[in-house]
Structure 1
């Protein structure tokens, strides 16, 4: 972390959170290219130079903001990873709940993520999407390996295929949960997060086949 970022980290929490809140709103409303540092500092009532003192430029501000959000997203997943209470499917259900709770708590951050996901020209897109997917894959891989060791999953399971499919399921669920027009008729936004997480977990547990297939 640069000295400038350390200076920002040492600000009073209320002031630091206000800067992040205004910046988040600006990027969520306007995307990266159309976001205006002038609008941010105007709402904050500070000079542009004060913001640049901490972050250097708009890119530095965005990198800090989204990097901070990624850390927040990863924290509850680390807690689930490190706490082996419950079987594989119970831990997966908890991860669905934690991810949905993050979207509920940080809707503007999730709006930025969606803009990044669906705009191939979004600056630093590959960097941040890659970081998110790498972190989630690492988390899922450990849960799957634990499940195999505990005899809860087949010993010959293709781990990388499982990681890809579970990640894809969660990603699409969150899109439908946050944006009703993206739910393709499953009405994720009309159900409680708990009910939908349980339904998805049951689907992963039982699959599509009419057992015993």
Structure 2
């Protein structure tokens, strides 16, 4: 957890400290990350870093929360954009992809938390991420039901779970070669085609007219 000492720092210095921590955790993971390398990069005493965050776990937790906060702005814009539910879902997915490409180190940290079971607070961190995703998607889909764009018989919790999972998996496949080597290095046009295909699948599953046809 960040201390008042850290919060009282100049915003530019806060960003420098967090950037050094992001670099270290993204490159080395939690257990191999070195406080010494962080403070050397920053040119500050080791005690200062512990003053700011208390422990190495505290630094990692702050970096993770910082990552989530950075993503909230672009997603908020996508949710408030013009268009129907599927337009907003697509914009949300595109915002996520743009964020991952703009902040590859932050995304690498997320993947380390996702796939490395021995990361401290892993369950808590993933619960926060999934909780935010549910908090973001639930009202968006609820509004779609009210507007008659989504099936009235939709299992909302399951729909949120599936959309979140599909978005997460597609982002991994488009940005991490190890997840889907065949997609590594694909063009922007191919990426958009993959998004088109996924959104068509989601539309077919959730759209109100499809529910009426299968009733």
Same fold (TM > 0.5)? yes
User: How big is each residue's C-alpha offset from its partner over 1:162-185, in whole Å with a ceiling of 9 and x where there is no partner?
Assistant: 111111101111111221221264
User: How big is each residue's C-alpha offset from its partner over 1:146-205, in whole Å with a ceiling of 9 and x where there is no partner?
Assistant: 1111111110011111111111101111111221221264x2751325443333212211
Give the structure-2-normalised TM-score. 0.88
Q: Is the 8 A contact 2:145 2:152 kept in 1?
A: yes
- State the SS of the aligned residue for 1:168: helix
User: Which aligned pairs between 1:31-180 and structure 2 lie closer than 5 A?
Assistant: 31-81=29-79, 83=80, 85-180=82-177
User: How big is each residue's C-alpha offset from its partner over 1:12-65, in whole Å with a ceiling of 9 and x where there is no partner?
Assistant: 233222211111111111111111101110111111011111111211111111
Distance in 1 (alpha carbons) for counterparts of 2:97 and 2:60:
23
> Where in structure 1 do 4 or more consecutive aligned residues deviate above 6 Å?
none
Distance in 2 (alpha carbons) for counterparts of 1:118 and 1:142:
29
| Structure 1: unaligned runs, 5 residues or longer | none
| Structure 2: unaligned runs, 5 residues or longer | none
Give the count of matched residue pairs.
206
Distance in 2 (alpha carbons) for counterparts of 1:96 and 1:79:
12
Aligned to 1:203: 201
Aligned to 1:190: 186
Shift of 1:118: 0.8
Aligned CA-pair RMSD: 2.0
Give the structure-1-normalised TM-score. 0.88
- State the SS of the aligned residue for 2:198: helix
